[in-house]
């Protein structure tokens, strides 16, 4: 089998050498085996809300195949459910590589699920696109790993720096930090505390709380006692709801200028719909919002096709946060394959290191360890939300981009209490 | 940080949360405390109750009204569950603990998965007018989101306690735990008394479910985080002491609130169990129970 | 008895030999990843059964012991570079201590309190791990294992062989407990604790021994896990799935002999490994739940009782 594959590769190289672009998609290649792309998605378990990413993968596959495939070969997805458990990841990726013979790998969602696969791909020298894992490659430093997410370099500390830049511009001196005891939130809070120190802010309150905490009233009172001017919150969907409700019930000082930062939840339709106007004034991180500086025909067409599928599958009908970047993962792999005219990990990686790639979320260039050269995490302020209708979030003006400056679509409305009431 | 209003507020929050825990534990107090059936599926039944309430509130009903409507179907569910339980075990001359624990463990898994297949894994919450505002009493700020569910507990507990101690069928339930044969002699069928009791216990799950979903959003696996607390309450109260369980639940609630106010919230999940382990080691018969 | 023991010994030697040779015979690493998980569950089920099966004391906290083993070994390796065999040994010792502690606090009363307390053990240990920054808390802890020794072709194969050894030792231990005076005493406890106590069986001491052995095996099962995933974090180390399987596997296989948990684990873990890459995991758990109910209700003796004995009466 191996010799046959090598033979095909040889054929491909020879043919490409003879008449490079003209022959792509012709019958010589169409007979070849499909290119297999392997991934593990959390279809069940606590991270099941990320499963809408799979729609991004599938739309990409359909687009590529409709255009004749890659190097004339069809693209095939092999996807398994990791049940949101890191314990399942090693066996799944071994199956993808050793049994299913995948040419390209996409990582599981997030850093905790990706961590088990890093030593494996490094040891076997495989090509992988990382899905949303913060600082996923900072330990392994594998040179064939590329992030599809916009965290940027030094993401462990810096990804939420935008929030602190805004705080600094407002002259904030005292900041409070709270986080859920879960990987993403904990790293966000730790990074946040470092950045705050760098900017000479005093961290007056810094606490973590267990997942499934349903009452934050005592925590909010303690925060108020510390008298901060900004509150950086790294939370998960259930606690995001509880915190926002808690603030409404207990109240918060008029001195607080910025509130939010790294709350997971207000990016998703479920929470935007259930909390609606209660979210006004929140300044929070995001990866994509339909503001004029980000809207392109390509991404609009992506969402036009995403939404009906999502509605049918009963997942987030908005899907701003994750799905576009799953499509981007496919585009990165496609660029690497067509650009290097091979599925050889070293050649694909060399291409991505040397060339910036055009994707539906813009042009992406990579550092040596596969981070985006430029951080492009958005800090958006939620505004003017009326009622619980989800459709309003498809229009500009409700998720105003404050940071990065290159994409800015509005100024911060502060203090929080005033922005909240608007 | 040590100011008097934070302390007072923490204590009040603790009392309210404790009261909610008490309604979660009420059904188990009957099944485990009185009938000695270790129904570890009870917290999952509460979550099922919460989903029932959620479904009705989608049609515009108030969660408390929804819970009252749910009493009948949940009572029947409990009767069916007990019928299955006794069909499996009683014919073999009584269940051993291992088997009944495992049975209910399997049952809770099945319920959880059915809920997650039916409702998805997204969080569900109810929105009612009184959620989001609070009652201000001097330095105290009491959210209605906690206050209303917390008031449900004493009312239900009082109702159940009145039923158990003042009515004939209630007395029969308490008697069945002590002396089954005497009950038969008195002309009552122990199996049907137990079935009735199990039905009542399961019916309380829907009220607890309403309380739970008012406090915060719910997902199908939320019951797991309550198992520890709920058993701690029933065991420490001294099996079968229902008013005692309210006191213990409030003690646990206050302890958790103080730990999260003054130590760190990330220690609070361990509080209930630390209290349970200490309690078992020091006073195994429970605080309100007679020595066994 | 003597003949049985010889057969058992021969079986052990064959399995061990296979554990060392297979990595050289079978090229595809996937089988060692999947095989590791199956063997891990053989160990867990066997460990659980020493207390749960022989003595009838149900332990919902298998994940607590397992997670303690996982974290101890990850900590000892990353901080002191302790070699894996010593990590396993240390995990076993701590598991035993934890078992005795747990037993001492709760076993003097009724079995049901023990079961409830074990539910809490997981929560308490998980809370502790969350709050110790040296263990990485919620962000977890990366564990880059050592190079495998020369007699093993790669890390996944090495982990597999290590797990074979642990599983074999655990099963041998369980069998020894079963046929020794401990097993006889525990069976008496299971049949009727009061009767056993009255006829002079040192019930508390026996139960504590069982707790210690069971805890040691469960923790040892977790010790190689950090090297298998190269990463530990509290949610998976204390996963409910482990506690669930620890109970389901012996119950399905049969709890009265050492064979039951082995059969149950081989069966259920293999099905789950295949199911992970085929059907949705929700249906997977639903299936385990339904099977669990079915076995408790209709075949309390498990598979080994259904097929093994001639006309096995469902004895308890």
Q: Which residue of B has its CA nearest to C111?
A: B97
Do the Cβ atoms of B134 and A250 come within 8 Å? Answer: yes
Mean pLDDT of the residues in chain A: 88
Spatial separation of the C-alpha atoms in residues B212 and B205, rounded to whole Å: 10
Using alpha carbons only, give the angle C27, C33, C34 rounded to the nearest 5 degrees.
105
Asked if A395 and A235 count as a contact pair (C-beta separation under 8 A), the reply is: no
Q: What percent of chain C has pLDDT over 70?
A: 92
Q: What is the mean pLDDT of residues A130-152?
A: 90
Q: Nearest Cβ partner of C140 from A83, A85, A183? A: A183
Could you report the per-residue pLDDT of C182-207, keeping only the tens digit for each?
A: 888 888 888 777 888 888 888 888 88
Could you report the per-residue pLDDT of A60-118, keeping only the tens digit for each?
A: 999 999 999 999 999 999 999 888 888 889 889 999 999 999 999 999 998 889 988 99
Q: What is the mean pLDDT of residues A304-318?
A: 91
Q: Which residue of C has its CA nearest to B120?
A: C282
Q: Which pLDDT does position A22 carry in this prediction?
A: 39
Spatial separation of the C-alpha atoms in residues B48 and B39, rounded to whole Å: 15
Domains along chain B? 4-282 (1.10.3470)
Do the Cβ atoms of B99 and C296 come within 8 Å? Answer: yes
Q: Which residue of C has its CA nearest to B36?
A: C112
Q: What percent of chain A has pLDDT over 90?
A: 61
Q: What is the mean pLDDT of residues A200-225?
A: 88
The token pair that represents B150 in the structure block = 């917390």
pLDDT bracket for residue A30 (50, 70, 90): very low
Spatial separation of the C-alpha atoms in residues A134 and A113, rounded to whole Å: 11
pLDDT bracket for residue C42 (50, 70, 90): very high
Q: What is the mean pLDDT of residues A40-53?
A: 85
Is the Cβ of B119 closer than 8 Å to some Cβ of chain C?
Answer: no
Which range, of A129-133, A174-178, A229-233, C290-294, averages the lowest pLDDT? C290-294
Asked if C260 and C53 count as a contact pair (C-beta separation under 8 A), the reply is: yes
Is the Cβ of A95 closer than 8 Å to some Cβ of chain C?
Answer: yes
Spatial separation of the C-alpha atoms in residues B62 and C73, rounded to whole Å: 52
Do the Cβ atoms of C230 and A118 come within 8 Å? Answer: yes
What are the distances in angstroms from CA A220 to CA A12, A226, A233? 64, 10, 11
Q: What percent of chain A has pLDDT over 70?
A: 92
Do the Cβ atoms of A209 and B125 come within 8 Å? Answer: no
Q: Nearest Cβ partner of B3 from A213, A214, A225? A: A225
Instruction: Give the SS3 label for residue C299.
Output: coil
Q: B with C: how many residue pairs have Cβ under 8 Å apart?
A: 118
Could you report the per-residue pLDDT of A225-250, keeping only the tens digit for each?
A: 899 999 999 998 888 988 998 898 88
What are the distances in angstroms from CA A382 to CA A28, A402, B101? 53, 10, 49
Chain A residues with beta carbon closer than 8 angstroms to that of B141: 217, 249-251
Q: What is the mean pLDDT of residues C29-46?
A: 93
The token pair that represents C62 in the structure block = 């298998």
Is the Cβ of B171 closer than 8 Å to some Cβ of chain A?
Answer: no
Q: Nearest Cβ partner of A207 from B145, B215, B264? A: B264
Q: Is the pLDDT of residue A21 over 50?
A: no
What are the distances in angstroms from CA B231 to CA A208, B33, B176, B201? 26, 10, 22, 14
Distance to chain A for C93, nearest Cα, Å: 24
Do the Cβ atoms of A237 and B143 come within 8 Å? Answer: no
Taking a contact as any Cβ pair under 8 Å apart, which residues of chain C between 267 and 296 contact chain A?
Answer: 273, 276-277, 280-282
Q: What is the mean pLDDT of residues C163-183?
A: 93
Chain B residues with beta carbon closer than 8 angstroms to that of C57: 98
Which range, of A73-82, A315-324, C130-139, averages the lowest pLDDT? C130-139
Q: Exposed, middle or buried: residue B94 (CB in 10 Å: 0-12, 13-18, 19+)?
A: exposed
Q: Which pLDDT does position A18 carry in this prediction?
A: 39
- DSSP 8-state assignment for residue B290: P
Q: Is the pLDDT of residue A200 over 90?
A: yes
Distance to chain B for A50, nearest Cα, Å: 11
Q: Which residue of B has its CA nearest to A276?
A: B127
Q: What is the mean pLDDT of residues B13-35?
A: 91
Please choose, from the candidates A189, A181, A48, A194, the residue with its C-alpha nearest in 3D space to the C-alpha of residue A110.
Answer: A48
Do the Cβ atoms of C28 and A98 come within 8 Å? Answer: yes
Taking a contact as any Cβ pair under 8 Å apart, which residues of chain A between 186 and 245 contact chain B?
Answer: 207-210, 212-215, 217-219, 221-222, 225-226, 237-238, 241-242, 245
pLDDT bracket for residue B291 (50, 70, 90): very low
The token pair that represents B256 in the structure block = 């958790």
Q: Exposed, middle or buried: residue B103 (CB in 10 Å: 0-12, 13-18, 19+)?
A: buried
Do the Cβ atoms of B98 and C128 come within 8 Å? Answer: no
Q: Which pLDDT does position A3 carry in this prediction?
A: 47
Could you report the per-residue pLDDT of B209-265, keeping only the tens digit for each?
A: 999 998 888 888 888 778 878 888 888 887 778 888 899 999 999 998 888 888 878
Q: Is the pLDDT of residue C315 over 50?
A: no
Instruction: Give the SS3 label for residue C222.
Output: helix
Do the Cβ atoms of A249 and B219 come within 8 Å? Answer: no
Could you report the per-residue pLDDT of C280-301, keeping only the tens digit for each?
A: 566 777 777 888 888 877 777 7
Q: Nearest Cβ partner of A274 from B125, B141, B266? A: B125
More confident site: B220 or C275: B220
A231 forms beta bridges with A176, A259
What are the distances in angstroms from CA B253 to CA A21, B280, C118, C207? 71, 19, 21, 34
Q: A with B: how many residue pairs have Cβ under 8 Å apart?
A: 97
Do the Cβ atoms of A86 and C127 come within 8 Å? Answer: no
Q: Is the pLDDT of residue A25 over 60?
A: no
Spatial separation of the C-alpha atoms in residues C295 and C53, rounded to whole Å: 14
Spatial separation of the C-alpha atoms in residues A348 and A269, rounded to whole Å: 36
Spatial separation of the C-alpha atoms in residues C222 and C237, rounded to whole Å: 8
Asked if A189 and A244 count as a contact pair (C-beta separation under 8 A), the reply is: no
Q: Is the pLDDT of residue A366 over 50?
A: yes
Spatial separation of the C-alpha atoms in residues B239 and B258, rounded to whole Å: 26
Q: What is the mean pLDDT of residues A208-220?
A: 83
Q: Is the pLDDT of residue B290 over 80?
A: no
Note the pTM of the prediction, 2 decimals: 0.84
Is the Cβ of C289 closer than 8 Å to some Cβ of chain B?
Answer: yes
Q: Is the pLDDT of residue B284 over 80?
A: no
Spatial separation of the C-alpha atoms in residues A72 and B249, rounded to whole Å: 67
Q: Is the pLDDT of residue A38 over 90?
A: yes
Chain B residues with beta carbon closer than 8 angstroms to that of A214: 215-216
Do the Cβ atoms of A123 and C155 come within 8 Å? Answer: yes
What are the distances in angstroms from CA C295 to CA B114, C8, C23, C250? 20, 28, 36, 11
More confident site: A167 or C141: A167
The token pair that represents B187 in the structure block = 């002309």
Burial of B65-79, coded b for 16+ CB within 10 Å and e otherwise, reads ebbeebbeebbebbb
Is the Cβ of B127 closer than 8 Å to some Cβ of chain A?
Answer: yes
Instruction: Give the SS3 label for residue C88.
Output: helix
User: What angle do helix axes B271-282 and B242-258 make, rounded to 10 degrees?
Assistant: 130
Q: What is the mean pLDDT of residues A219-230?
A: 91
Taking a contact as any Cβ pair under 8 Å apart, which residues of chain B between 25 and 64 contact chain C?
Answer: 38, 40
Q: Nearest Cβ partner of C281 from A44, A95, A139? A: A44
Q: Which pLDDT does position C267 carry in this prediction?
A: 87
Q: A with C: how many residue pairs have Cβ under 8 Å apart?
A: 105
Q: What percent of chain B has pLDDT over 70?
A: 89
Spatial separation of the C-alpha atoms in residues A168 and C227, rounded to whole Å: 43
Q: Which pLDDT does position C311 carry in this prediction?
A: 42
Instruction: Give the SS3 label for residue C3.
Output: helix
Mean pLDDT of the residues in chain C: 85
What are the distances in angstroms from CA B258 to CA A368, B8, B226, B262, C248? 49, 10, 19, 6, 38
Domains along chain A? 33-147+322-364 (3.40.50.2300), 156-293+377-421 (3.40.50.2300)
Q: Which pLDDT does position A29 carry in this prediction?
A: 45
Chain A residues with beta carbon closer than 8 angstroms to that of B219: 238
What's the start-to-end Cα distance of chain C, in Å? 23
Return all residues near C45 (Cβ < 8 A) that are at least 6 apart. Answer: C245, C246, C249, C250, C253, C261, C262, C264, C265
The token pair that represents C199 in the structure block = 């006829």
Spatial separation of the C-alpha atoms in residues A142 and A370, rounded to whole Å: 8
Q: Is the pLDDT of residue B276 over 60?
A: yes
Is the Cβ of A78 closer than 8 Å to some Cβ of chain C?
Answer: no
Burial of A382-403, coded b for 16+ CB within 10 Å and e otherwise, reads bbebeeeeeeebeebebbbbbb
Is the Cβ of A193 closer than 8 Å to some Cβ of chain C?
Answer: no
Is the Cβ of A246 closer than 8 Å to some Cβ of chain B?
Answer: yes
Q: What is the mean pLDDT of residues A314-341?
A: 94
Spatial separation of the C-alpha atoms in residues C4 and A12, rounded to whole Å: 62
Q: What is the mean pLDDT of residues A189-214?
A: 90
Is the Cβ of A397 closer than 8 Å to some Cβ of chain C?
Answer: no
What are the distances in angstroms from CA C305 to CA A43, C72, C188, C247, C257? 37, 37, 19, 17, 10
Please choose, from the candidates A17, A44, A54, A52, the residue with its C-alpha nearest in 3D space to the C-alpha of residue A317.
Answer: A52
Is the Cβ of C239 closer than 8 Å to some Cβ of chain A?
Answer: yes
User: What angle do helix axes C62-80 and C203-222 make, rounded to 10 degrees?
Assistant: 50
Which range, of B120-134, B193-207, C90-104, C253-267, averages the lowest pLDDT? B120-134
Distance to chain B for C145, nearest Cα, Å: 30
What are the distances in angstroms from CA A305 to CA A41, A56, A309, A323, C76? 20, 10, 7, 12, 51
Q: What is the mean pLDDT of residues A344-364?
A: 94
Asked if B2 and B236 count as a contact pair (C-beta separation under 8 A), the reply is: no
Do the Cβ atoms of B217 and A242 come within 8 Å? Answer: yes
Please choose, from the candidates A282, A299, A346, the residue with its C-alpha nearest in 3D space to the C-alpha of residue A143.
Answer: A346
Q: Which pLDDT does position B90 carry in this prediction?
A: 66
pLDDT bracket for residue C38 (50, 70, 90): very high
Q: Which pLDDT does position B111 carry in this prediction?
A: 92
The token pair that represents C110 in the structure block = 């009724």
Do the Cβ atoms of B96 and C56 come within 8 Å? Answer: yes
Asked if B209 and B49 count as a contact pair (C-beta separation under 8 A), the reply is: yes
A35 forms beta bridges with A75
Q: Nearest Cβ partner of C58 from B97, B107, B277? A: B97
The token pair that represents B190 in the structure block = 């122990």
Is the Cβ of C130 closer than 8 Å to some Cβ of chain B?
Answer: yes
> A35-41 and A357-359: which strand pairing?
unpaired
Is the Cβ of B129 closer than 8 Å to some Cβ of chain A?
Answer: no
User: Helix and strand tally (H, E) in chain A?
Assistant: 17, 14
pLDDT bracket for residue A23 (50, 70, 90): very low
More confident site: B73 or B186: B73
Q: Is the pLDDT of residue C210 over 50?
A: yes
Q: Which of B40, B109, B220 to mutate to test the interface with C (most CBs of C within 10 A)?
A: B109
Do the Cβ atoms of A225 and B1 come within 8 Å? Answer: yes
The token pair that represents B49 in the structure block = 């109750």
Spatial separation of the C-alpha atoms in residues C277 and C284, rounded to whole Å: 11
Q: Which pLDDT does position B77 carry in this prediction?
A: 95
Cis peptide before C262 (omega within 30 of 0): no
Q: Is the pLDDT of residue A11 over 50?
A: no
Could you report the per-residue pLDDT of B135-180, keeping only the tens digit for each?
A: 888 778 888 888 999 998 889 999 988 888 888 888 888 777 776 6
Q: Which pLDDT does position A372 carry in this prediction?
A: 94
Q: Which residue of C has its CA nearest to B37?
A: C112
Do the Cβ atoms of B216 and A238 come within 8 Å? Answer: yes
Q: What is the mean pLDDT of residues B41-50?
A: 94
Q: Which pLDDT does position C121 carry in this prediction?
A: 83
A260 forms beta bridges with A232, A283
The token pair that represents B177 in the structure block = 């735990």
User: Which H or E run contains A250?
Assistant: helix A237-250
Q: Is the pLDDT of residue A10 over 50?
A: no
């Amino acid at each position: 089998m191996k010799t046959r594959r090598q033979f095909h590769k040889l054929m491909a190289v020879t043919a490409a050498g003879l008449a490079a672009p003209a022959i792509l998609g012709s019958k010589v290649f169409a007979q070849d085996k499909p290119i297999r792309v392997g991934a593990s998605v959390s279809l069940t378990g606590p991270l099941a809300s990320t499963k809408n990413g799979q729609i991004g993968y599938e739309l990409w596959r359909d687009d590529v195949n409709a255009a004749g495939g890659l190097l004339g070969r069809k693209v095939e997805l092999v996807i398994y459910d990791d049940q949101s458990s890191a314990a399942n990841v090693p066996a799944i990726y071994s199956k993808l590589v050793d049994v299913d013979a995948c040419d390209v790998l996409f990582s599981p969602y997030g850093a905790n699920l990706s961590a088990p696969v890093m030593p494996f791909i490094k040891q076997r020298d495989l090509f992988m696109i990382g899905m949303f894992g913060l600082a996923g490659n900072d330990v392994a430093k594998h040179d064939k790993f590329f992030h599809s997410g916009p965290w940027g370099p030094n993401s462990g500390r810096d990804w939420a720096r935008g929030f602190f830049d805004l705080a600094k511009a407002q002259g904030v001196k005292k900041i409070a930090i709270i986080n859920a005891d879960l990987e993403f939130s904990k790293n966000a809070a730790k990074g946040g505390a470092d950045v705050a120190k760098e900017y000479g802010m005093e961290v007056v309150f810094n606490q973590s709380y267990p997942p499934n905490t349903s009452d934050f009233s005592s925590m909010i009172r303690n925060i108020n006692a510390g008298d901060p001017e900004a509150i950086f919150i790294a939370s998960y969907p259930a606690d995001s709801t509880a915190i926002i409700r808690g603030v409404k019930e207990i109240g918060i000082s008029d001195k607080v200028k910025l509130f939010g930062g790294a709350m997971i939840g207000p990016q998703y339709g479920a929470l935007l719909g259930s909390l609606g106007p209660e979210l006004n004034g929140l300044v929070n991180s995001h990866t994509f919002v339909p503001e004029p500086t980000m809207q392109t025909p390509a991404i609009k067409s992506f969402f036009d096709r995403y939404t009906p599928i999502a509605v049918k599958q009963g997942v987030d009908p908005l899907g701003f946060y994750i799905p576009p970047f799953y499509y981007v993962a496919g585009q990165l792999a496609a660029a690497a394959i067509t650009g290097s005219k091979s599925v050889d990990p070293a050649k694909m990686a060399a291409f991505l290191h040397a060339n910036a790639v055009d994707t539906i979320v813009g042009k992406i260039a990579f550092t040596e360890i596969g981070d985006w050269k430029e951080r492009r995490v958005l800090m958006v302020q939620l505004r003017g939300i009326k009622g619980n209708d989800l459709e309003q979030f498809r229009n500009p003006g409700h998720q105003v981009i404050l940071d990065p400056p290159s994409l800015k679509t509005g100024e911060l409305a502060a203090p929080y209490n005033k922005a909240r009431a608007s | 940080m040590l100011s008097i209003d934070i302390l007072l507020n923490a204590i009040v929050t603790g009392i309210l949360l404790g009261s909610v825990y008490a309604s979660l534990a009420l059904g188990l107090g009957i099944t485990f405390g009185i009938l000695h059936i270790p129904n570890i599926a009870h917290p999952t039944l509460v979550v099922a109750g919460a989903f029932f309430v959620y479904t009705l509130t989608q049609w515009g009903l108030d969660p408390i009204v929804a819970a009252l409507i749910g009493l009948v179907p949940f009572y029947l569910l409990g009767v069916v569950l007990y019928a299955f339980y006794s069909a499996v075990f009683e014919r073999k001359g009584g269940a051993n603990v291992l088997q009944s624990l495992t049975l209910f463990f399997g049952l809770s898994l099945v319920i959880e998965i059915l809920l997650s297949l039916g409702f998805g894994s997204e969080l569900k919450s109810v929105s009612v007018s009184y959620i989001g505002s609070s009652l201000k009493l001097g330095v105290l700020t009491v959210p209605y989101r906690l206050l209303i569910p917390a008031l449900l507990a004493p009312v239900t507990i009082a109702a159940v306690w009145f039923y158990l101690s003042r009515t004939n069928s209630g007395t029969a339930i308490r008697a069945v735990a002590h002396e089954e044969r005497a009950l038969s002699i008195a002309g009552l069928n122990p199996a049907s008394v137990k079935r009735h009791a199990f039905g009542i216990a399961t019916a309380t799950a829907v009220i607890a479910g309403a309380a739970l979903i008012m406090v915060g959003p719910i997902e199908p696996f939320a019951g797991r985080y309550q198992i520890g607390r709920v058993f701690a309450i029933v065991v420490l109260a001294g099996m079968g002491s229902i008013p005692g369980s309210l006191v213990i639940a409030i003690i646990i609630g206050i302890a958790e609130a103080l730990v999260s106010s003054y130590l760190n919230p990330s220690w609070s999940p361990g509080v209930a169990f630390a209290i349970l382990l200490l309690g078992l080691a020091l006073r195994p018969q429970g605080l309100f129970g007679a020595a066994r | 008895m003597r003949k049985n023991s010889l057969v058992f010994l021969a079986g052990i030697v064959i399995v061990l030999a296979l554990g060392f040779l297979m990595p050289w015979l079978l090229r595809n690493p996937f089988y060692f990843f999947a095989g590791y998980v199956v063997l891990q569950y053989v160990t867990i089920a066997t460990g659980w059964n020493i207390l749960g099966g022989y003595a009838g004391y149900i332990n919902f906290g298998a994940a607590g012991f397992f997670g303690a083993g996982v974290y101890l070994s990850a900590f000892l390796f990353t901080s002191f570079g302790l070699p894996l065999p010593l990590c396993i040994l240390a995990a076993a010792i701590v598991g035993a201590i934890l078992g005795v502690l747990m037993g001492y606090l709760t076993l003097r009363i009724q079995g049901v309190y023990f079961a409830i307390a074990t539910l809490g053990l997981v929560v308490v240990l998980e809370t502790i791990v969350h709050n110790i920054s040296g263990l990485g808390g919620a962000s977890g802890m990366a564990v880059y294992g050592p190079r495998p020794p020369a007699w093993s072709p790669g890390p996944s194969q090495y982990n597999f062989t290590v797990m074979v050894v642990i599983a074999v030792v655990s099963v041998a231990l369980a069998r020894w407990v079963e046929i020794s005076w401990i097993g006889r005493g525990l069976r008496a406890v299971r049949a009727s604790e009061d009767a056993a106590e009255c006829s002079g069986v040192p019930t508390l001491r026996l139960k504590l021994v069982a707790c210690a052995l069971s805890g040691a095996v469960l923790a040892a099962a977790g010790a190689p896990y950090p090297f298998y995933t190269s990463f530990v974090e509290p949610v998976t180390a204390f996963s409910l799935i482990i506690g669930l399987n620890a109970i389901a596997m012996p119950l399905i296989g049969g709890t009265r002999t050492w064979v039951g948990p082995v059969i149950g684990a081989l069966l259920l873990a293999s099905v789950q490994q295949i199911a992970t890459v085929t059907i949705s995991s929700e249906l997977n758990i639903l299936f385990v739940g339904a099977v669990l109910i079915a076995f408790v209700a209709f075949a309390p003796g498990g598979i080994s009782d259904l097929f093994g004995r001639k006309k096995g009466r469902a004895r308890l």
